[in-house]
């Protein structure tokens, strides 16, 4: 029984891993009309902070909570748990690296 559970978890765990690459695709599709989602991109709006700024100032929990309960003008955006994890992984990939 335990061996079966271990094998099941070993095959299913990667399916739940967040993908920063998929998060970038989602960001380009859903977020880039207001946010600068890539380092070389200029923001389309001064109301929405660049993703790099969010990554530098906010932790994973804050980003996840914000994406689960977006505030205006982000209402109408409904993301799955996997999409939230992917966007969070992408945003955090933009955080400055500690030296």
**How many CA atoms within 13 Å lie on the side-chain side of 86?**
18
Going by the DSSP 8-state scheme, the letter that residue 13 receives in this structure is G
CATH number of 77's domain = 1.10.760.10
Going by the DSSP 8-state scheme, the letter that residue 46 receives in this structure is S
What's the gap between Cα 63 and its chain centre? 8
- Which tens digits make up the pLDDT trace of 12-41? 444 568 999 999 999 999 998 888 999 777
Helix (H, G, I), strand (E, B) or coil at 58: coil
In a domain, 99, yes or no: no
Distance CA 57, CA 96 (A): 10
Give the tokens for residue 23.
């998060």
In a domain, 5, yes or no: no
Confidence of residue 76 (pLDDT cuts 50, 70, 90): confident
Whether pLDDT at 83 is above 60: yes
> Residue 30 belongs to what domain range?
18-93
In a domain, 6, yes or no: no
The answer, as to whether pTM is greater than 0.85, is no
Domains in the chain: how many in total? 1
In a domain, 7, yes or no: no
């Amino acid at each position: 029984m335990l061996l079966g559970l271990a094998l099941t978890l070993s095959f299913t765990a990667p399916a739940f891993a967040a993908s920063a690459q998929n998060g970038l695709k989602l960001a380009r599709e859903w977020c880039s009309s207001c946010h600068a989602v890539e380092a070389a991109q200029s923001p389309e709006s001064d109301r929405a902070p660049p993703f790099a700024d969010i990554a530098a100032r906010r932790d994973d929990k804050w980003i996840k909570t914000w994406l689960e309960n977006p505030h205006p003008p982000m209402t109408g955006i409904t993301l799955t748990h996997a999409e939230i994890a992917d966007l969070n992984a992408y945003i955090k990939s933009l955080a400055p690296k500690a030296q």
